[in-house]
Amino acid sequence: MTSDSEHIKHLCRGPRPWNEWRAENPSVVPNLAGISLSIGDRQMGSINGGPINLAQARLSHASLCFATLTGADLRGADLANADLRDSRLEGADLTGAELSEAHLDRADLAGASLAGANLCGVSLAYVRNLTTAQLHEAEGDVNTVLPPDVERPLIWTVASAVDSQPPARSKAPEPTAAAATPPKPDPLRIEDRGYEEEAPTAKHVTCKHVTWLVGGPRGIGRRGRPEDPYNGPDSP
* Separation between Cα atoms, residue 134 and residue 126, nearest integer Å: 16
Give me the CATH number covering residue 2: 2.160.20.80
User: What's the domain count of the chain?
Assistant: 1
**Host domain of residue 39:** 1-160
Work out the angle at residue 69's Cα, subtended by the Cα atoms of residues 67 and 72, and round it to the nearest 5 degrees.
155
| Residues 143, 34, 102: CA angle, nearest 5 degrees | 15
**Cα–Cα distance for residue pair 222/215, rounded to 1 Å:** 9
Q: What is the pLDDT of residues 110-138, one digit of tens each?
A: 999 999 999 999 999 999 999 999 999 99
Q: Taking Cα atoms as reference points, which of 120, 111, 118 lies closest to residue 95? A: 118
Q: Which secondary-structure segment (H or E) carries 213?
A: strand 212-213
Q: What percent of the chain has pLDDT over 90?
A: 63
Domain-located, residue 181: no
Residue ranges of the chain with per-residue pLDDT less than 70? 1, 159-236
pLDDT of residue 190: 52
Give residue 189's identity as a one-letter amino acid code. R
